[in-house]
Chains A and B, each alone.
Chain A
Amino acid sequence: MRSNTKKELLLKYGIPCLSVVVVAVQLFFVSERQLSKWKGGGYGMYSEIHYYYNQIYIPDLSVDSLVKTSLEMKETLGYLMVMPNDKNIENAAKLILETTQRDSVFVQLWKPVVSLKNKTFTRALVNEIYLKKSDL
């Protein structure tokens, strides 16, 4: 009888509990790894401006052209947009150095900032890195 109750509880709430685990993982990544709330299965879509509006800025280099160089570059810069943490910006800088044969690279990630009070649109710096080839 008792095992039946346990089994019923497991069948009723096992799958929802699994979804809560996914949510907990997403919340961890949002707070510790700077993941956009839009992704990771935590149902945080439409709670902040989409990461698509983030901007990667590299002086004297077109990001649009850079993205087209390889699938790896597209993925690496994509990860930087959705999760602009230190690891991802470093990975992006390393790959850019390897691809462009430069001696150094300066990569910044900016996010949009809108103020309805002032009716303005501007950008705020999220993360940046200056990497030299000699550092690799």
Chain B
Amino acid sequence: MSILIHIKNSLKDPIKIAQFLLALFAVIYLVLLADDFFVFKIPILVGGLVFWIIDYKKRAFPVLWLTILVLLIIDVIGSYFWVANHHFLLCFMVLSMITFFYHKRSSILFVNIQTLVVIVLLLSVFQKLFSSQFISGNFYYHDINQGAMFRPLFYLFPDSLEIANQNVDNIKKLKESDPNLEHSIAVIDIVPNLRIMTVIYAWLTILVEAIVALFLIWKPRSTWTHLFLIIMICGILFTKLETGFMSLLAICGLFLCTSLKQKLIYIAILMVCILIIMAKMGYH
């Protein structure tokens, strides 16, 4: 019982816990992303962390956040067209943390995070609506028939996995041929009625993203808003292990929600995503 009270007390200040989890995610993300520049990135990060620990009492500068931002911006400058979309979102969230360090107004931080998530969702809806490949269902049809989505379901339906692998092999063979001969191959549906299902799923994706965005504008603290956001995050993770982006959306949800249950759900989602990222699975 005392543990529950302790957890409840710790979660009273959602900004503190969200800040800590954002820093944790950013550090793990930067370490995993360090790759070829490990030699100079890791010492900078360790330096930032050490200074943050030493400066614990004073906290005159947002050293850790500045260190994270510098490392993120180095990647943006060096690999602008290669970094993931959530890399940009992470930059803006870290920038919000740095400005919060100075203005100390939670209402401003709240608007920062709320507006950033709304922009992400509305842009995602906009880009999908203006993509004929997406709204026709062809995008999902391509990825699902190659087994690139809904991987957990393949454990239940091994026959579908076999068909997906067959599609991948056929496409591989086709790619070995001269494309100027304009050959085409027949795609085998991994489940019956996939054509209709992909069209419905495409429109459902747009609808859910649009609803979450509108609810976040209209009632950002409402239970319904966070219920939809949680459903959307879980739905995306089930469709594809987009652990990097979903971690950030869960942290954004944590910044914006007020209920204890919602906070615990967001933390649980984030922890699962971080574990998957650390196991080097998923997309981060």
Q: Tell me whether A15 is interfacial, beta carbon within 8 Å.
A: yes
Partner of A12, one of B85, B108, B205: B108
**Size bracket, chain A contacts:** 35 or more
Interface residues of A in 21-73 (CB under 8 A from B): 22-23, 29, 35, 37-49, 53, 55, 57, 59
**Contact partners of B120 in chain A: CB under 8 A:** 43
Interface string of A74-92 (1 = CB under 8 A from B): 0000110011000000000
Are the C-beta atoms of B119 and A48 separated by less than 8 Å?
no
State whether the Cβ of A122 lies closer than 8 Å to any Cβ in chain B: yes
The complex places the Cα of A11 from the Cα of B171 at a distance, in Å, of 51
- Number of interface residues, chain B, beta carbon within 8 A: 61
Closest to A59 in B: B178
Which A residues from 104 to 132 make CB contacts under 8 A with B? 108, 110, 112, 114-117, 119-123, 125
Of the listed stretches B13-21, B137-145, B268-276, chain A binds B137-145
| Residue A136 lies at the interface, judged by CB distance under 8 Å to chain B | no
Q: Which A residues are CB-close (under 8 A) to B111?
A: 12-13
Assembly CA distance A30 to B84 (angstroms): 15
How many contacting A-B pairs (Cβ < 8 A)?
148
Q: A19: which B residues are within 8 A, CB to CB?
A: 88-89, 92, 116, 119
Residues of A within 8 Å of B184, CB to CB, are 120-122
A66 CB → nearest B CB, Å? 15
Identify which of A83, A108, A116, A122 contacts B81 (C-beta below 8 A): A83
Q: Does B133 count as interface, using CB distance less than 8 angstroms? A: yes
Find the A residue at minimum CB distance from B196.
Answer: A116
Which residues of B in the span 226-266 have a Cβ within 8 Å of any Cβ on A? 240, 245
> Would you list the 4 A-B pairs with minimal beta carbon distance, nearest first?
A122-B184, A44-B127, A41-B88, A16-B115
A-B contact pairs, 19 of them (CB 8 A): A11-B112, A14-B99, A16-B115, A16-B116, A20-B119, A39-B82, A40-B80, A45-B124, A46-B240, A47-B128, A47-B130, A55-B175, A82-B82, A112-B142, A116-B198, A119-B187, A119-B188, A121-B174, A122-B182
Binding site for B on A (CB under 8 A): 8, 11-16, 18-20, 22-23, 29, 35, 37-49, 53, 55, 57, 59, 78-79, 82-83, 108, 110, 112, 114-117, 119-123, 125
Q: Which residues from chain B sit less than 8 Å from chain A, CB to CB?
A: 80-85, 87-89, 92, 95-96, 99, 103, 105, 108, 111-112, 115-116, 119-120, 123-124, 127-128, 130-131, 133-134, 136-139, 141-143, 145, 167, 170-171, 174-175, 178-180, 182-189, 194-195, 198-199, 205, 240, 245
